[in-house]
Structure 1
Amino acid sequence: MDIRAVAEADRAVWAQLYAGYAAFYGVAQTDAMRQTVWGWLMDADHGAEGLVAEVGGVVVGIAHFRSFARPLSASVGGFLDDLFVGPEARGTGAAEALVQGVADVGRKRGWTLIRWITAEDNYRARGLYDRVAEKAKWVTYDIKL
């Protein structure tokens, strides 16, 4: 399993995986929305970055992440926005490898933690997350704008 930065040549398989991620969460996502996110990932000046998990030359999973300021601790952390592994590759360790890939990026950059959220009923993913990270005590709120 190789974990590497997403590249221009990954666009088609990335789009399929990202559409699968949106479908998993029941989010209506258009080609235009994916084009916007792809543009962010390909723009070195934008904060969003991506990794892919590759097995035998085939991309089987994606992760999107970004840095964020942590004023209370006067430090910088990493936020794992999206993590998805195609159904055919689940159970291969790709999701854990992607999480560790983001953590490796954070270590190199001096980040103090990697944070992410998941749906409460995403039990399969939470099994992994409970193994590789500490569940935070924070409750998440959203204001729709």
Structure 2
Amino acid sequence: MAGEIIVRPIGEDERAAWNPLWDSYLAFYKTALTQDVSDLAWSRFHDPDETMFALGGYVDGRLAGFAHYLFHRSTWAPKRYCYLEDLFVADSARGHGLGRALIEAVYQKAEAAGASRVYWLTQSSNEQARALYDKVADNLGFIQYRKVI
């Protein structure tokens, strides 16, 4: 699937196009969310008082990927950080630069917002994505610990 790539904010009226991508992303990570959690995320993307955003990657006018990102303060820096929380490209659109275009668009948004860094997490076994990530950012070798409460 080669074609014109455009990255722009996902419109509030594009939920039907976003839903299957979101479902595929959650399935990739072998997780499920309740509908109210997905609804809340969607509403946050379009709430001007939130610092959470959704960019869409469009190939020939069709939504084929997304990047969800947010800004937060840090104890380590005077400027905010940008966390790229979710990045997904549909199987049919992979290998044509859409993932890189989405990451680069987040970099631009972070710079425009005065953030000092963009960072994200991925599974160590996500080799396809890591091949791209190793080209566009530095792997600092951190391990994530988590306790669900």
Normalised by the length of structure 2, the TM-score is 0.92
CA distance in 2, matches of 1:107, 1:94: 20
- Find out whether 1:131 has 2:135 as its counterpart: yes
Whole-Å separation in 2 of the counterparts to 1:121 and 1:8: 33
Match of 2:105 in 1: 101
**Superposition deviation, residue 29 in structure 1:** 2.6
* Structure with the largest fraction of helix: 1
Which of 57, 74, 99 aligns to 1:70? It is 74
In 2, the alpha carbon distance for the partners of 1:74 and 1:34 equals 32
Alpha carbons 1:63, 1:80 under 8 Å: kept: yes
What does residue 113 of structure 1 align with? 117
Shift of 1:89: 0.4
Identical aligned pairs, as a percentage? 31
The letter of the residue matching 1:82 is D
Task: Please say if 1:56 is aligned against 2:72.
Answer: no
Structure 2: state its 5+ residue gaps. Answer: none
Task: Kindly indicate whether residue 25 of structure 2 is the aligned counterpart of residue 27 of structure 1.
Answer: no
Structure 1 position 31, deviation (Å):
3.0
Greater than 2 Å deviation, 4+ residue runs: 29-33
Q: Distance in 1 between matches of 2:36 and 2:23?
A: 12
CA root-mean-square deviation = 1.1
Instruction: List runs of 5+ in structure 1 lacking aligned partners.
Output: none
